[in-house]
Amino acid sequence: MTNEKWLEEITGRVSTDAPEREPITVTAPATDEPIGQIPRCTDDDVAAAVSRAQAAQSEWIEFDPAERAAILEDFGDLVLERREELLDLVQLETGKARAHAVEELLDVPTTCSYYASRAESILADQTRDGAFPLATDATVTKKPVGVVGVISPWNYPLTLSITDAVPALLAGNAVVLKPDEKTPFIALALAELLAKAGLPDGVFEVVTGDGSVVGPALVDRVDYVAFTGSTETGRAVAERAGRNLIDCSLELGGKNPMIVLANANFEEAARGAVQGCFTNAGQLCLAAERLYVESAIYERFLDAFVGETRRLSLGTEVGYGSDVGSLIDDAQLERVEEHVDDAVGRGASVLTGGRARPDVGPFVYEPTILTDVDPDARVAQEETFGPVVTVTPVDGPRAAIEAANDSDYGLNASVWTGDRERGRRLAQEIEAGTVCVNDAYIAGWAATDAPMGGVGDSGLGRRHGPEGIERYLESKTIASSRIGSLAPPSGVPATWTTRSLLAATNVRRRLSRWL
């Protein structure tokens, strides 16, 4: 099937009853030319999609957790089987290098298998201590929240459009997905594969359109929101969710630090920095944008880092030919250029990069290393979200930790050292949701059993791990008494009742210490 035919087919997965909706044209970053069109969904379209999801969820919840897990495992298998087509589509929509597209593709079947293998145990009823030992008991049951709204970004459209949905579906929820309008087709392709895997109609709906219209309409109607995107938009989502008294999880921006200690293998750290700073042309929430290097190895590290960076090849072709691809659009390119120009205007030095490459692609920018950066420069304070990093010498570990924590963000960080245990101790002091030791981000991101998320302006809640599915569940306590009503018998003096309750409380406290 040709790309054009496939795009036309999957566009039919958009949840709208009015195909004549005003279209949005999607363009390829590699060429700035149109790929295709999607409907500009309205408030009514969102309402209809959520209504269908609600109806479907009432049947989906009756599926045994093992049945739901089997469908999601089959979906993971289909993602691997159709990997070449999916990778082509990711490169077409994002302009990223294919090796970086592979990273996000592999995350999908891994996430499916992780939650499929654990769904039954996580969803099982749990026995808890009753109010009075032997006389009462308590059981906690977990039920899906209902319909989950997922709002996904453009930078990792394959994994981030679906891996938040997988645990929600396994928990028995329906999902309505709003992908970014820059990268909708990969989400629609995944919706098609979910249907092929056996997911019932209506359980996974996709609405496309302007974020300013579809986003609020979705938050106003669903029972939970999982959002990945900018801190500014995340605040608006959280505020709206709060007004609706629904919960949300938010993975937002980052200004992630990387610390290189004097006892680190500086060549290995330099290779790690290249990966951590320039994967997906720096358009990665986990990317390192601030490097702090102990003075004793600063010059050697810098030479190695610059050398590794200059060896990176730029390109926008489909395939494995290039190391670094394109930025997503002209707005992102403009942001990167403004950050670099501002830093240079304040006295920063450009050791490599520092310029756009229209000869390679309309939005390609060279991997850039800056030193001598003014602390008040935009590139030092704001998330750049591009292939730009600042490198600063520090006097020692304490100075590095203080510099790393001098930020409102707290998503990801890394520590490079020849003493891994020391690195783990320092990691405890860094204010971030994830800290990797001797790795840039993959060791943390790929640890699917461990929660991933941010602190401060980097967000709320966690994906991955048991926490990643528990956020989509409501807990209910069912407590019972083996001796009937615990109310005091009629006519018993209050003083006697008080003495009995005090005695029971003391017994309970003693038992809790022994058990």
Q: Which residues of 214-236 are buried (b: 16+ CB within 10 A; e: fewer)?
A: bbebbbbbbbbbbbbbebebbeb
And the tokens for 91?
A: 């490169």
Q: What is the rounded CA–CA span in Å between residue 434 and residue 276?
A: 14
Set 285, 289, 383, 431: catalytic member: 285
Classify 209 as helix, strand or coil. Answer: coil
Q: Cβ neighbours of residue 396 under 8 Å, at least 6 residues apart?
A: 294
Instruction: Name the residue among 283, 151, 159 with its Cα closest to residue 211.
Output: 151
Let me know if 450 is exposed, middle or buried by CB neighbors in 10 A (0-12, 13-18, 19+).
middle
- Residue 235 identity: R
Q: What is the rounded CA–CA span in Å between residue 425 and residue 370?
A: 29
- Residue 64 identity: D
Q: Is 251 a catalytic residue?
A: yes
Q: Cβ neighbours of residue 282 under 8 Å, at least 6 residues apart?
A: 289, 336, 367, 384, 385, 386, 387, 388, 389
Q: What is the rounded CA–CA span in Å between residue 115 and residue 129?
A: 28
Task: Concatenate the DSSP letters of all residues of 277-329 into one string.
Answer: HHGGGG--TT-EEEEEEEGGGHHHHHHHHHHHHHT--B---SSSS-SB---SS
And the tokens for 297?
A: 């190895």
Instruction: Name the residue among 414, 395, 416 with its Cα closest to residue 404.
Output: 414
Set 93, 205, 251, 366: catalytic member: 251
Classify 504 as helix, strand or coil. Answer: helix
Instruction: Name the residue among 479, 462, 478, 460 with its Cα closest to residue 470.
Output: 462
Q: What is the CA radius of gyration of the chain?
A: 26
Q: Answer yes or no: are the C-beta atoms of 214 and 417 closer than 8 Å.
A: no
Tokens 């029971």 identify what position? 504
Q: Is 285 a catalytic residue?
A: yes
> Measuring CA to CA, how many Å separate 389 from each of 91, 202, 226, 350, 369?
24, 44, 29, 10, 5
| Other Cβ atoms within 10 Å of 489 Cβ, number | 8
Q: Cβ neighbours of residue 492 under 8 Å, at least 6 residues apart?
A: none
- Residue 152 identity: S
Phi-psi sector, 63: left (phi>0), alpha (psi -120 to 50), beta: beta
Q: Cβ neighbours of residue 36 under 8 Å, at least 6 residues apart?
A: 4, 7, 8, 11, 25, 26, 185
Residues forming the active site: 251, 285
